[in-house]
C-alpha cells in the first residue's frame, strides 16, 4: 500500500543560486516525475554575490527566480507536480524567509523549517540551523548542545544577522532544545527529517582541516551537530537528509551513513555539478547519488 503512495523521491542541497544546477534539477523533476522533492538549504546565491553589480542573478532570487521557475513547472506538470519540501541553510539570509513562506502559501512548495508536514503516510520535519561556524552570517546558527564554540568558530552572539532576534534566544537557544520541542509528538516510524547540518562524526560531516590550527589548537575534522546525532541515535527516524559540508563525500568516499536503523544521505558536493540523491522510502538501501 505504501509503495503506491510514495515511490521515487529526489533530494538536492547547497545549490547556492547556481542557475545551471537549478536547470538540471528542474529538468530531472519534469523527466522523472518523482512523488516528492527535498531541497536541503543553501539554495540562494551567496550574500556577497547579490551585491555584485556585475551579477546577472535576480536581486530577489527567491521570488524572481525560484518562485517563477517552480511556478512554470507546476503549470506544466499539473497533477504530476511533486510534493516539494524546502528549508534554507546557513548561507541563506533569513530576510528571505518571507518569500519562502509566500511560495508555500501559493502551493509551490512546503516550507518546513520547524514544521511537521505530511507526505502520504509519512511526516516530513525540517530544521535549518547549524552549529557555530567560522562564517559571519548567523541567521541559521545555534549553539549545539551547550555554549561551546569550536576552535576557529565564531559565536552565534557575534557576526551579523539579516533579521533581528531577541538577545536571550541568540544566547541560550540550542539545536538540542529545538529538536526536543519540534519532535515531541512526531511518529518516528514514519518520519523523514530534512536537516541542513549533518550529524557529528559521520561520513557526512568531514571537513578539509587536516593539520590546521588556530592559536595552537587543532581544528575539528568533523563539524556536524552533536544534537542531531544524539537525536537520530535515540529516536531513529526512517531517513535523514543533509547538506552543508560540501567536501565530505570526497574526503570520506561516501555520501551516506547509517545510525541504527536510520539511513542518512547527503547531497552536498564541492564540484560544479548538481549532486542528486534518488531514493524510495520503501527501499532505502537502493538509494543512489549521481552528479549531473
Q: What is the pLDDT of residues 149-158, one digit of tens each?
A: 999 999 999 9
Please report the pLDDT score of residue 3 as a whole number. Answer: 41
Mean pLDDT on 217-227: 95
**How large is the average pLDDT for residues 232-242?**
98
The separation between the first and the last C-alpha atoms of the chain, rounded to the nearest angstrom, is 32
For 10, the 3-state DSSP assignment is strand
Query: Do the Cβ atoms of 103 and 66 come closer than 8 Å?
Result: yes
Q: Mean pLDDT throughout 140-169? A: 96
In SS3 terms, 4-34 reads as: HHCCEEEEECCCCCCHHHHHHHHHHHHHHCC
Please determine, for residue 4, whether its predicted confidence score (pLDDT) is greater than 50: no
* Residue 188 grid coordinates: 518516528
| Residue 148, SS3 per DSSP | coil
Please state whether beta strands 191-195 and 36-40 pair in parallel, antiparallel, or not at all (unpaired): unpaired
Task: Round to whole Å and give the CA distance between 88 and 141.
Answer: 12
DSSP letter (8 states) at residue 190: G
Distance of CA 30 to the CA centre of its chain: 22
Give the model confidence (pLDDT) of 179-204 as tens digits. 999 999 999 999 999 999 999 999 99
Q: What is the mean pLDDT of residues 228-234?
A: 98
| pLDDT band for position 56 (cuts 50, 70, 90) | confident
**Residue whose cell numbers read 540550542:** 174
Burial, 262: exposed, middle or buried (Cβ in 10 Å; 0-12, 13-18, 19+)? buried
pLDDT at 280: 96
E strands, the chain, where?
8-12, 36-40, 83-87, 110-111, 116-119, 122-127, 191-195, 213-214, 217-218, 239-242, 256-259, 262-266, 275-280, 283-291
Cell reading at 223: 563539524
Average pLDDT over residues 24-45: 97
Domains of the chain: 2-291 (3.60.21.10)
A 10 A CB-CB count for 250 gives 14
Report d(CA 129, CA 113) in Å as an integer.
9
Average pLDDT over residues 253-280: 98
pLDDT at position 57: 81
Judged against a pLDDT cut of 60, whether residue 77 lies above it is answered with yes
pLDDT the model gives residue 55: 61
At residue 8, the pLDDT reads 87
Looking at residue 58, what is its pLDDT? Answer: 84
Alpha-carbon distance of 286 to 77, in angstroms, equals 27
Q: What's the pLDDT at 175? A: 98
Amino acid at each position: 500500500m505504501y509503495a503506491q503512495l510514495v515511490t521515487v523521491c529526489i533530494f538536492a542541497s547547497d545549490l547556492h543560486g547556481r542557475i545551471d544546477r537549478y536547470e538540471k534539477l528542474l529538468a530531472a523533476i519534469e523527466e522523472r516525475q518523482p512523488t516528492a522533492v527535498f531541497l536541503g538549504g543553501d539554495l540562494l546565491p551567496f550574500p556577497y554575490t547579490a551585491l555584485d553589480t556585475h551579477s546577472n542573478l535576480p536581486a530577489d532570487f527567491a521570488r524572481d527566480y525560484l518562485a517563477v521557475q517552480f511556478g512554470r513547472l507546476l503549470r506544466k506538470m499539473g497533477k504530476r507536480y511533486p510534493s516539494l519540501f524546502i528549508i534554507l541553510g546557513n548561507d541563506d539570509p533569513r530576510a528571505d524567509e518571507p518569500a519562502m513562506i509566500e511560495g508555500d502559501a501559493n502551493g509551490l512548495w512546503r516550507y518546513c523549517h520547524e514544521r511537521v508536514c505530511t507526505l502520504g503516510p509519512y511526516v516530513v520535519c525540517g530544521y535549518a540551523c547549524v552549529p557555530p561556524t567560522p562564517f559571519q552570517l548567523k541567521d541559521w546558527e545555534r549553539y549545539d548542545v551547550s555554549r561551546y564554540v569550536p576552535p576557529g568558530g565564531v559565536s552565534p552572539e557575534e557576526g551579523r544577522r539579516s533579521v533581528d532576534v531577541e538577545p536571550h534566544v541568540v544566547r541560550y537557544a540550542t539545536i538540542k532544545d529545538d529538536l526536543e520541542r519540534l519532535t515531541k509528538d512526531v511518529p518516528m516510524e514514519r518520519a523523514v527529517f530534512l536537516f541542513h547540518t549533518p550529524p557529528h562524526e559521520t561520513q557526512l560531516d568531514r571537513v578539509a582541516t587536516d593539520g590546521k590550527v588556530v592559536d595552537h589548537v587543532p581544528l575539528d575534522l568533523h563539524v556536524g551537530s552533536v544534537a542531531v546525532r544524539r537525536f537520530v541515535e535515540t529516536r531513529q527516524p526512517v531517513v535523514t537528509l543533509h547538506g552543508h559540508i560540501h567536501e565530505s563525500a570526497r574526503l570520506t568516499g561516501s555520501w551516506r551513513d547509517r545510525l541504527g536503523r536510520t539511513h542518512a544521505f547527503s547531497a552536498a558536493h564541492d564540484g560544479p555539478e548538481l549532486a542528486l540523491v534518488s531514493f524510495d522510502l520503501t527501499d532505502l538501501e537502493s538509494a543512489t547519488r549521481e552528479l549531473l
